[in-house]
Chain A
Amino acid sequence: MSVGLTHYLVVSLLLFCLGLFGVLVRRNLLVMFMSLELMLNAANLALVAFARYHHNLSGQIMVFFIITVAAAEVAVGLALIVALYRQRRTAHVEDLASLRL
């Protein structure tokens, strides 16, 4: 059995759904953030597979952009979560309740 485009896409869709599920279900900010990265990587996998399928490298270039942007996002995001943890001693979403209706 040869591994084709469909296989990659199914794996990528599974990864995306896993990530989305993690964001919606988990309540720890760090775990949510990891799940968000999973969603980005699902898109990366799909882009690489499509680029190979179309013999068009712009998909792979896009992956490099996404990896770079994700790195920047993680740098800022972790700094924010650490700053919040230092102030509130918590990394749970339920405790983020000082802004309410």
Chain B
Amino acid sequence: MDDLILIGPELAVLITGLAVLLLDLWAPPSQRKTIGYAAAAVLGVVFLGTFAFLLPEPRMAFGGMLVLDELALFFKRFFLLAAGLVLILAVEFSDRLKAGESEYFALILFALAGMMFAASANDFSILFVALELVTIAFYVLASFQRHRTRSLEAGVKYLILGALASGFLVYGIALVFGLSGTMNFTRLAQAPEAVLSSPLFELGLLLVFVGLGFKIAAVPFHIWAADVYEGAPAPTTAFLAVGSKAAGMVLLLRVLHGAVPALVDRAQPVLMVVAALTILYGVLCAIPQQNLKRLLGYSSIASAGYLLVGVAALNAAGLSAVLYYLAGYLFTVLAAFLVIALAFPNVDSEEIGALAGLHERAPLLAAALALALVSLAGVPPLAGFFGKFLLLKAALAAAGGTPGLYWLLGVAIVGVVISLAYYFGVIRTMYWEPHPPTSPSSPSSPSPPCLAVPTPMRVALWLCIAGMLWLGVMPGSILNLTDLAVQSLAPAVPVP
């Protein structure tokens, strides 16, 4: 019974998902949006419910397969918040799906359950099942607009490359299990040095990291990212950018610091090289982009690189900064995608040029997107600036022991400078380029049509803006949480 209480939030999310599917059978089509809003409200309640967990020390469930500690709780709250906002976005978007709105909401909830299980994973079997629950839900979510070739194509690309990554992951798990004789992270942490230093074990671990690197879109496993981000429906892309990346990140931290703390030093050079390549690839490929969703895809690759800088620093400050950056990233990216869903009512063009004059048609949207891009670029006083600042500061503190980190810092700073160019290009288009005439037949219309912002979207947008500003201006409160979460990652918990 205790075990079931510990996975209470996950169970609540799963039951909500099933309830959404069932309610769809009886509810008239006009009520589908209400179902979506109700599901978002339930997620809000579950989010508040997670604060009822008081954890003086980490608690294990199901024979040590799941762990509930401050890190797990932090990420569960993160995923619930993200999924709630994505659901509001999905309800707004549901007119463009043509069919199966409720299934879309339900799949978001199932993917959310997978992410929440991933946050608690303390065993390779849970890691695998949770990750696949997320990935398979996303295959469907990405290709949900079946009438659009681009959406289908995005889904198929994600499917093939995702399945390839799972193949590597599973083979890696098999090798790790074969050499150590256990799947449990806690027991693995106590494995003898002879096992840890065998090359086959390291190969297995490397293959596991390939699988996780695919989820966070790190070079060289990033090939899917730009295409899928562009082709998938906006709510899917938003959830993919925030949720899926964070799920990969929390599993990376769990495996690296929970399962094989003895090998962390040997992983550092690999992490540094991957981080540098990821940042450079992301920022350089983003420069010529004309499609806003594709631009954000490359920007998310670059963000994966910045997150890996914090991981490669190998100190508590770096990990804390990773969590902080993710929290800021949630509000920033979701704000951007809320605007994308509203500002591009016809789906097949998300060209940046179509944003021209947005500040006249919808001042709130233009302001929110501008804030989001400025935050992504890393300009104070927004969340994105402080996240990057903390990541680089942690890397600098660790650089005394490993001179390679200085190079990584240099690459990261160059990346920030380059990224300023393309983010501000979008802002310039929104504010300083005139709106093109809406239709050639009536070029004399003096003012272009205003874009309506429905109330739930308005609330979600203000929430994102408030989050960005709050995290940026008062980072102390959230940093307490992230420090607590990082402390609980120490693998000092005995296996029952």
Q: Which A residues are closer than 8 A to B by beta carbons? A: 9, 12, 16, 19-20, 23, 29, 32-33, 36, 39-40, 42-43, 46-47, 49-51, 53-54, 56, 58-59, 61-62, 65-66, 69, 72-73, 76-77, 80-81, 83-84, 87-88, 96, 98-99, 101
For chain B, residues 167 to 213, give those with C-beta under 8 angstroms from any C-beta of chain A: 167-168, 170-171, 173-175, 177-178, 181-183
Contacts of A84 in B (CB 8 A): 152-153, 156
In the complex, 23 of the A-B residue pairs with CB atoms within 8 angstroms, ordered by the A residue number, are A16-B171, A19-B167, A29-B160, A36-B163, A39-B164, A39-B170, A40-B166, A43-B167, A46-B171, A62-B124, A69-B128, A69-B129, A69-B132, A69-B136, A69-B166, A73-B136, A73-B159, A77-B139, A77-B159, A80-B152, A96-B153, A98-B153, A99-B230
Contacts of B230 in A (CB 8 A): 99
B132 and A73 form a contact (CB under 8 A): yes
**Bound form: Cα–Cα A12–B160 in Å:** 21
B214: shortest Cβ distance to chain A, in Å? Answer: 13
Which residues of the partner chain A approach B288 to less than 8 Å between Cβ atoms? 101
Complex contacts, A43 vs chain B, CB 8 Å: 167, 170-171, 173-174
B257 within 8 A of A: no
Expressed in whole angstroms, the Cα–Cα distance for A39 and B125 within the complex equals 17
Contact B183 A83 (CB under 8 A): no
Docked-complex contact B181 and A39, CB < 8 angstroms: no
**A-chain residues with CB within 8 Å of residue B173 when the two chains form the complex:** 43, 47, 62
Which B residues between 273 and 309 are near A, CB-CB below 8 angstroms? 285, 288
Looking at the assembled complex, report how far the CB atom of A66 sits from the nearest CB atom of chain B, in whole angstroms.
6
Other-chain contact of A96, B124, B157, B164, B183 (Cβ < 8 Å)? B157
A43-B171, A88-B149, A98-B149 given; A80·B156 CB < 8 A? yes
Instruction: Say whether A39 contacts B160, CB under 8 Å.
Output: no
Residues of A within 8 Å of B168, CB to CB, are: 39
**Cα A59 to Cα B123 with chains together (Å):** 12
Q: Find the A residue at minimum CB distance from B123.
A: A58
Q: Which of B126-141 contact A (CB under 8 A)?
A: 128-129, 132, 136, 139-140
Given contacts A76-B139, A83-B143, contact A56 B182 (CB under 8 A): yes
CB distance from A34 to the nearest CB of B (A): 11
Name the contact of A83 in the complex, choosing from B146, B150, B170, B227 (C-beta under 8 A).
B146
B377 part of interface (Cβ distance < 8 Å): no
Q: Would A76 and B152 count as touching, CB distance under 8 A?
A: no
CB distance from B201 to the nearest CB of A (A): 12
Return the contact of A29 from the options B146, B156, B175, B182 (Cβ within 8 A): B156
Q: Find out whether the CB atom of B155 lies under 8 angstroms from the CB atom of A23.
A: no
- By the criterion CB–CB under 8 Å, are B156 and A66 in contact? no
Once the chains are docked, how many angstroms separate the CA of A33 from the CA of B146? 20
- A52–chain B nearest beta-carbon distance, Å: 11
Give the complex CA separation of A56 and B154 in angstroms.
40
Closest to A77 in B: B159
> B146 to chain A: which residues have CB within 8 Å?
83, 87
Instruction: Tell me whether B231 is interfacial, beta carbon within 8 Å.
Output: yes
Q: Which residue of B lies closest to A76 (CB)?
A: B139
Complex interface: chain B residues within 8 A of A87 (CB): 146, 149, 152
Shortest Cβ distance from residue B136 to the other chain A in the assembled complex, whole angstroms? 5
| Cβ A99 vs Cβ B152 within 8 A | no
Nearest-Cβ distance from residue A24 to partner chain B, whole angstroms: 9
A37–B73 Cα distance when bound, in Å, is 35
